[in-house]
Amino acid sequence: MARRISTGVVGRNVLGALTTENNVIASVVTDQDILLQPSGQGDVVSDADLLLFNQQELRLGDTQLPTNNYVAMKAPSTVGTNYTLTFPDTAGTTGYVLTTNGSGTLTWENVAVQVGDDIAGDTSSNYYPLMTSSTSGGITEVKIVSSKLIYDPDIGQLSTTKFVETSSITLKENVSPIENALESLSKLVGVTYDRKDGSAKMEAGLIAEEVDKVLPNVVAKDEDGNPYGINYTKFSAYLIEAVKTLSEEIKELKRDKYS
């Protein structure tokens, strides 16, 4: 004898508000949800693949029942070939995103730009200083000028076709002429030296600590006030004034000679 359940009868094609035909279970009432509701903490378990046809969505509902809002996932309108996305076995780290290896295996990856301290780089490689149109937030566009601006980390050399420093009067205040330029330059000692890191031999230049005693305004210092570099381009102002002084002295010598 058949056993009655709700309004249907087991063994027939009606079960409550559901109908069955072949392997299809459908609701009798149009637009009615079908709810699978295990008792307590039970799960709805399938031991086979679950296929959604016609771009139907997999919806993840909020805490309300019936669900008021949901997050949905669905397939594109046309899938060129079957593929499987395999998720990683951990929840990942804050700020990481899922990336694919091209074969469907997903992993968590840090999307931040990675920084490496390339003190002595590959001598066969050049690096191109990065320029971007973004002024805040994330970088939206990156450009390089490979024939005009090149950095070689192996020797610490930056090469460019032109170097321009801003120098308009509109950017300056407290302007004063340089005095005793020739005397100041005469106190400096030009030297040649080898770099301890091996990047240069017989390099010509000045010693920052010594220049600091004479022209501290052209010396770069660290946060503790220790000299570590020299702004060589600023010497041009002193050289110009020194040449002018020498020119006047030569004129004076000529006047004395022919007077």
Where in the chain are the domains?
A: 1-38, 118-163, 177-258
- Per-residue pLDDT averaged across 199-216, rounded? 96
Instruction: Name the residue among 100, 127, 99, 123 with its Cα closest to residue 111.
Output: 99
Predicted structure pTM score: 0.58
Tell me the pLDDT tens digit for each residue of 120-148: 555 667 777 877 777 776 676 778 888 88
Collect contacts of 118-124 with beta carbons under 8 A, ≥24 apart: 118/153, 119/153, 119/197, 120/153, 120/154, 120/197, 120/199, 121/152, 121/153, 121/154, 122/154, 123/154
Tell me the pLDDT tens digit for each residue of 153-185: 878 888 998 989 999 999 999 999 999 999 999
